[in-house]
A and B are shown apart, each in its own frame.
Chain A
Amino acid sequence: MKTVSFTIDDRKVTAHAGTTILNAASKAGIDIPHLCFDPRVEAIGACRMCVVKVQGARGLVTSCTTTVAEGMKVVTEDHEIALRRKHVLELMLSEHCSTCMGCDKSGACRLQDYAYRYGADQDRFGVVLAQAPMRNFTTLNKGILFAADKCIKCGLCVKYCESVQMAEALTFAWRANRTEVTTPFDEDLHLTSCETCGGCIRVCPVGAMLDKNAVGKGRDSDLTRVKTICPYCGVGCQMDLLVDKQRNRIVRATSTPDAPINGGNLCVKGHFGVDYVSSPERLTHPLIRTADGFRQATWDEAITYVGDRLRAIRDQHGPDALAFVSSARTPNEENYLVQKLARTAGATNNVDNCATSCHAPTVAGLAAAFGSGAMTNSVSEIKDCKVMFLIGANPTAAHPIIGLEMKRALRSGAKLIVCDPRKTWLAKRAHIHIQHRPGSDNMLINAMLRCILDEDLADKQFIASRCEGFDEFEANLEGITVEAAATYCGVDAGLIRAAARLYATGKPSAIYYTLGITEHSCGTDNVKNIANLAMLTGQIGKWASGVNPLRGQNNVQGACDMGAMANKLPGYQDWSDPAVRAKFEKAWGVPLPQNKGSKVPLFIAAAGRGELKALYIVGEDLVATEPNQTQVIEDLGNLELLVCQEIFMSETAKQAHVILPSACWAEKDGTFSASERRMQLIRKAVDPPGEAKPDWEILCLVATAMGYPMHYDHPSQIFDELVSLSPMFGGMSHERIGETGLQWPCPTPDHPGTQFLHEGRFTRGKGRFHAITFQPQKEEPCGEYPLILSTGRTLYNYNCGNMTRKAEVINQRDPGNFVEIHPDTAARYGIAQDEKITVRTRRGTVTGLARVGERVRPDLIWMPFHFIEEPTNNVTIDEFDPVTATAEYKCCAAQIEKL
């Protein structure tokens, strides 16, 4: 990139051509005052605070919109500029309610700072402010408060909402001194297209947009700022918790533009979803089951009971009688300990985590094709994609900050292909939307592969030099025609061809997928076929080009990385390898177990058959999240011992014999692995409630009680042990991870981490093509159950809802279960908008409000699974992928009925 040299305040500075004066100055450590500029938003140039002198230019120029040029001479402040800024501030103050004493923003308000710095006189122009109206668009909002009398009309919130979040819920209305920030037609904000991302609050330079629930609970200077990582999806957004240490409360959450993955953006869950930490429903004491419920117990009693029972069951029934479920919500250190506990004290490989329900096919499929199962690219590369190929992914709802990056790529001209049975936000704006029939993904991908071969768009050189298994793969596609596939998928053959051409010729193209691909009985095949698509076109192993599974939970990547699964030890090491076994046996001081180990749905089934006697679950609500809920409850009821380490009385905890109360994410230190393989530090912000303990401490106590002494002083020691045993993390430590994180593989202390995978060589050597034959879903629609039911996440709620539903803001936007139905289907059944209906499958029934619209195909209904009082998983099918035991949540046959 071209650089230019120039001077700012007589200092020689160089910057990339095209940089603005403000950014160049900021990089050089020179602060130019600004109000309407924020790095997250394209420069507006409205506030006139950032004006500077440029030699030769007429008058003062706004430094936020003027780009640097060779030889430019910039003066950022002199008497004249200071006077101009003072003047501008005085005009603003004439319309600004300056009662700083009662403002939450006091101390962190740029207007206040600059008014002080430039000695602005608030009475210079008299007060021309009209009385703020009693009621505005946020009066009924549960999370956002707009104080019109403090607004300086800088336009940052409007611009953020319009061009970053692209929600278009805020606008300027009227003109001149009547100008105001409002919603279209002054509608209540929660009824508009607002996505409650809180961006308006985060960018407001004054105290006009505020967290309603934090008002009066502390100014910035009263609160302690704790940098940590969001506890929801797998994007890995860095956030700052503002904590009242005295009251032991998180007052509000925010994020700053220097955050490594999210750049200061958050979604509704991150910004508003932390209320659960201080919920009165938190578990505070160990509980032991009695005949009529639970009784409070001491830690000593509970741990002794659990330790004795687990030991007895292990000794009496052998390694396959007990199983451990780790939590993708807890840090790496604790996942490491769960698998260590299982493999040492438990003497079993029966350990698993919730990846089995979601991305296990990714781990299996991509490992088979490439050698490692994670996002091959990083989030920061999305903006440079020329073609984005999304299949079975709805990032603007499930991975909102990755969604924002895709919106950004779209704005800068990237082409978008979306394959999804639903018209999602991105599908509506896609250049090609293939609304294929649920469960027909492999048919669709095979047709694309066929088309790429037919039209000679394959990257032959890449295939020859980097891949193997091509001939068998090619032979498998022999009988396939694009037309026949298009008919089965229910889409136009021309669209499939157009998508294949666009993807194959993109420079570069990248694939993004999530559970629409994996949560099928053919999930692993689906993933392998996606890998085929990337290899066939050579679209992998480059900047902004690769295969990117977006992980669903904050640390599900980490739970897999840590070996909390039956077939792998930490760092994806194979426990059947003698050298690996020897290393771990030496470090852990016990022989490693020999049993094959199993997976969550099979644990449950084994419990049902009476083969599994004890199940130890850390932070997973299997009853709420596994398919065919009635059967799950029945099977778990067979166990001799069910132990739950939990923060809430979940549906699964209700079935437990012993409940051990844990500290949640904000109450301990550790690391999370984001989807892009970045390990990041989480930090303790508040103390846990009552006697709740961090999971790592509980696990140590249990191991010790089982006769395998385990002790650590701090999670960093656990991390160091992990690192010493796993070459792929060999160069990492809590200290090195610091505030920016580190992306694995990172084998040595001087290794900078890996931005994207498979450059020049696949992890497994050569990329492996797989011949994939289309397998239909297990339960086809029929006369009695003519519709296909698919399930997924909304933007607002998260999985079983245990955490998000504690936040009123979220409940206001997403209050209960619903069923998306196509208008034609609704008309056929005589169902009206918002009418309560029943969905029936062979497993049972569930209710929800009808949401009639063209978001779904006429043969599809779609439901979220966040609402335990109307449990969608009561009707989902317990058919599983044969390789990974991942359930087919995305399709089963269903019928709908009026109540």
Chain B
Amino acid sequence: MNEVITILEHQGTGRDACVKVLQEIQGVFGYLPAEALRYVADHSQITKRQIYGVATFYELFRFKPPGRHQVKVCRGTACHVRGAPQILDAVAEELNLHGSEDTTEDGEFTFEKIACFGACALAPVTVTDGQTHGAMTPDKMRKQLKAILKKARAGKQEDPS
């Protein structure tokens, strides 16, 4: 909890610090761990009620740890007309994600739909682990995911633990 203590020291414990505090917690942990939120509720004027309202309102906050790999697919207008829906379907199928699920069961991938990256000239655009890919196709997307998965499995086999 040392990180959370530092964050509260930095941002203050008033009710209006809520968004900032949550952003910083997510910055440190990659998500909003339940223990961290409980600590905030117990040690500041920010209440559980406020935390839950704010954290569900903004799309960027998440309550579960993100996958090891981030796959972001743009569904902006330009990407949409140049085939983004097919890429979205391909990713969901390849990762076996249904409905509002965004992270694979094995914790390898988190899949995010992005409103617009602002790189419309490259449409359709995807960003995998921070690397931007333009003129994406469903096939290229599947290959990319398979390659990451293969590498991950190989890594696991090498690691006897």
Contacts and interface: CB of A to CB of B under 8 A. Distances in A.
Contacts, number: 34
A174 B57 contact: yes
A184 B53 CA distance: 7
Secondary structure dominating the interface of B? helix
Contact of A173 (B34, B47, B52): B52
B156 interface: no
A184 B57 contact: no
Contact of A168 (B34, B49, B56, B57): B49
B5 to A, nearest CB: 19
A661 to B, nearest CB: 47
A170 B57 contact: no
Nearest to B100: A178
B48 interface: yes
Nearest to A192: B48
B57 A185 contact: no
A366 B81 CA distance: 83
A135 interface: no
Interface residues on A, range: 10 to 19
Contact of B47 (A168, A175, A185): A168
Contacts of A175: 56-57
Contact of B53 (A169, A172, A193): A172
B123 interface: no
Interface string A456-470: 000000000000000
A175 B58 CA distance: 8
A171 interface: yes
B71 interface: no
B155 to A, nearest CB: 35
Contacts of A172: 53, 57
A162 interface: yes
Interface in A163-205: 168-175, 182-185, 192-193
B18 interface: no
A169 B56 contact: no
Contacts of B47: 168, 184
Greatest chain B CB density within 10 A among A170, A173, A183 is at: A173
Interface string A723-758: 000000000000000000000000000000000000
A157 B154 CA distance: 54
B49 A170 contact: yes
A673 B69 CA distance: 70
A184 B52 CA distance: 5
A168 B46 CA distance: 11
Interface string B25-56: 00000000010000000000001111111001
A694 B52 CA distance: 51
Nearest to A186: B52
Contacts of A171: 49-50, 52-53
A146 to B, nearest CB: 15
A192 B56 CA distance: 18
Contacts of B48: 168, 184-185, 192-193
Nearest to A172: B53
Contacts of B52: 171, 173, 182-185
A893 to B, nearest CB: 33
A175 B56 CA distance: 8
Interface in B44-78: 47-53, 56-57
Nearest to A167: B49
A165 to B, nearest CB: 12
A192 to B, nearest CB: 8
Contacts of A169: 49
A182 B57 CA distance: 13
A174 B56 contact: yes
Nearest to B55: A173
Contacts of A174: 56-57
Nearest to B48: A184
A322 B49 CA distance: 58
B15 to A, nearest CB: 11
Contacts of B49: 162, 168-171, 183-184
Contacts of B53: 171-173
Contact of B56 (A162, A173, A183, A193): A173
A170 B47 CA distance: 11
Contacts of A185: 34, 48, 52
A585 B57 CA distance: 74
Nearest to A182: B52
Contacts of B50: 168, 171
Interface in A141-174: 162, 168-174
Nearest to A173: B56
Most A Cβ at <10 Å: residue of B47, B49, B57: B49
Contacts of B57: 172-175
A386 B61 CA distance: 41
Interface of B: 34, 47-53, 56-57
Interface of A: 162, 168-175, 182-185, 192-193
Given A162-B49, A169-B49, 14 more contacts: A168-B48, A168-B49, A168-B50, A171-B52, A171-B53, A173-B53, A174-B56, A174-B57, A175-B57, A183-B49, A184-B47, A184-B49, A184-B51, A185-B48
Closest A-B pairs by Cβ, 3 of them: A184-B48, A184-B52, A168-B49
17 contacts: A168-B47, A168-B49, A169-B49, A171-B49, A171-B52, A171-B53, A172-B53, A172-B57, A173-B53, A174-B57, A183-B49, A184-B47, A184-B51, A184-B52, A185-B48, A185-B52, A192-B48
